[in-house]
A = this chain, B = another copy of it.
């Protein structure tokens, strides 16, 4: 195997073990493990049929300095993960939401990235109290009810990460902690994880000074960043960390349509997990392709008429006219709004059916 190489004692270690041995355990890991343990135990004890989805979301960072001022990041606002988490909750899963700090969260996402945040939805009443303006009441009530339902029933655990190291440590811990659930665990790996990192022993302590990297020509000070590959932890997750018989779904984001399906197929055959969901940067909100061993290639698309218009990204406070727009339209009740169906309404039920089969197969054995 490409990731296997002998260590200093002549023993064979895989790339993932070596990575963990050489990178420091994140400070907050123990705290997060305790929260996850409590969460999982609660569900194991209160409902023997409860499934848990580990949803990962947002991009991981690769610091370029120890005291980090600069870092390499992967593009992701966390929309896929935050949206999917809501539909997993609707499908009666409990959800551990392992997300990039400050990326979008389930429920609050409906207001977070709007033009001027939620203050535009508020008004001051005659008695001086702050209230939600009438026109936004209906939607906010739906979101709030679902949020409070998840909270009251302890169905959602939010755990943040920033760096790729924090992400990998947390994922390994979560996989180990879900052992008591066995096949009722579903890994939904929507986070955009760095392929490359800088080993700790090569990291600069302080902010890289731009003047120290003269290229000899005088005027041009160049910066050269030299990165190592992150080990293919997905293989280790499937083979070692994850509970036996659990379901693992990964994502493959590409920009070149020519490469999408072959890259996704390659990933499935390499890591031997259950499903790769392929998507293109430009069309990811309307179409994805499921790659599985049993059924090959299956495209899932939002019908043209139900695709929401893209968000302009231009924010201003000059004219009032632009402010009262809702952010991206959503479909919390599975089909009652006129503008925009979220593709996750199709993805998650499809995965749930696959998960039914995975669990049934395990129970027959």
Residues of A within 8 A of B (CB): 2-3, 5, 15, 28, 31-32, 35, 38-39, 42, 61, 64-65, 67-75, 77, 101-102, 105, 107-108, 111-113, 116-119, 122, 124, 128-132, 137, 140-141, 143-145, 147-148, 150-151, 154, 156-160, 192, 194-196, 205-207, 209-210, 218-229, 253-256, 259, 281-282, 313-318, 320, 323
Contacts and interface: CB of A to CB of B under 8 A. Distances in A.
A42 to B, nearest CB: 8
Nearest to A160: B315
A12 B159 CA distance: 54
Contacts of A209: 259
A183 B275 CA distance: 62
Contacts of A255: 65, 67, 69, 205-207
A222 B281 CA distance: 24
B228 A225 contact: no
Contacts of A220: 228-229
| Chain A to chain B: the 5 pairs with minimum beta-carbon distance, closest first | A108-B117, A67-B255, A225-B225, A195-B210, A223-B227
Given A122-B140, A157-B318, A223 B195 contact: yes
B313 A101 contact: yes
Report copies per complex: 2
A118 B128 contact: no
Contact of A71 (B28, B73, B150, B253): B73
Given A209-B259, A224-B224, 18 more contacts: A35-B316, A42-B318, A67-B255, A69-B281, A72-B73, A101-B313, A105-B117, A107-B117, A111-B119, A122-B140, A130-B132, A154-B317, A158-B316, A160-B314, A205-B255, A205-B256, A210-B229, A223-B229
Given A130-B137, A220-B229, A72 B70 contact: yes
A156 B229 CA distance: 45
11 contacts: A42-B318, A72-B72, A102-B113, A105-B117, A112-B112, A117-B118, A130-B144, A132-B132, A195-B210, A205-B255, A206-B254
Contacts of A282: 67
A137 B132 contact: no
A158 B281 contact: no
A38 B160 contact: no
Contact of A144 (B124, B150, B316): B124
A292 B23 CA distance: 43
A281 B118 contact: no
Contacts of A32: 314
Given A108-B119, A117-B112, A71 B72 contact: yes
